[in-house]
C-alpha cells in the first residue's frame, strides 16, 4: 500500500506545494541576485513553500565579486564547495577573512559583507542557507563609503 501523505515531485515557481509533501527542486537556470551573483534557487517560499528557510547554490565567477550588501533580519550559513573566497566585512568593509572549499561560514543579520573570488580561472561555488524563505526581498545593498568621514 502506497503512503500518499509524502509525495516526491519536482517543484517550480508556479507549483503550490502542500504542507504534507516532500518537494524536490532541480534548478536548471540561474537567477541574477541583487548582489549581482548568479544563484540557482533551490528551496524557498516560491519553489517549495518553505516558511522559515531558503537554500541556494551561489556561483562567484572567476575574479569577480558580489555587490557590497547585508541581509536584514536573518542569518546566513554558507558551505564553500569549491574555490577560495575573500570576504570583506563590517563597517566600511575594513575586516577580511579568506575561506577555502570545505569551510562553513556564518554571517549574522545586518553585517555588511562583500565576497571576492580569488581565482582568475575557476568559479567559486557555495551552498547558502538562510532563515528567511524570501531572502532576496531582505537583501540591502551597502555603500562602504557612506559612513566614512571625508
- 74-126 residue pLDDT tens: 999 999 999 999 999 999 999 999 999 999 999 999 999 999 999 999 999 99
- Could you tell me if residue 63 is left (phi over 0), alpha (psi between -120 and 50 degrees) or otherwise beta? left
Phi and psi at residue 121, to the nearest 5° = -125, -20
- The Cα–Cα gap between 53 and 70 comes to 17
Q: What is the pTM of this model?
A: 0.80
Range from 2-11, 14-23, 73-82, 96-105 carrying the lowest mean pLDDT: 2-11
Amino acid at each position: 500500500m502506497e503512503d500518499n501523505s509524502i509525495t516526491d515531485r519536482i517543484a517550480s515557481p508556479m507549483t503550490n506545494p502542500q504542507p504534507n509533501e516532500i518537494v524536490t527542486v532541480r534548478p536548471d537556470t540561474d537567477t541574477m541576485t541583487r548582489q549581482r551573483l548568479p544563484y540557482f534557487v533551490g528551496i524557498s517560499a516560491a519553489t517549495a513553500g518553505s516558511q522559515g528557510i531558503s537554500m541556494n547554490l551561489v556561483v562567484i565567477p572567476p575574479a569577480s565579486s558580489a555587490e557590497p550588501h547585508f541581509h536584514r533580519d536573518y542569518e546566513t550559513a554558507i558551505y564553500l564547495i569549491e574555490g577560495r573566497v575573500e570576504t570583506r566585512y563590517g563597517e566600511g568593509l575594513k575586516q577580511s577573512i579568506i575561506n577555502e572549499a570545505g569551510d562553513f561560514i556564518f554571517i549574522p543579520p545586518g553585517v555588511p559583507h562583500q565576497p571576492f573570488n580569488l581565482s582568475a580561472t575557476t568559479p567559486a561555488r557555495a551552498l547558502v542557507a538562510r532563515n528567511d524563505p524570501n531572502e532576496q526581498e531582505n537583501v540591502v545593498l551597502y555603500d562602504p563609503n557612506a559612513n566614512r568621514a571625508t
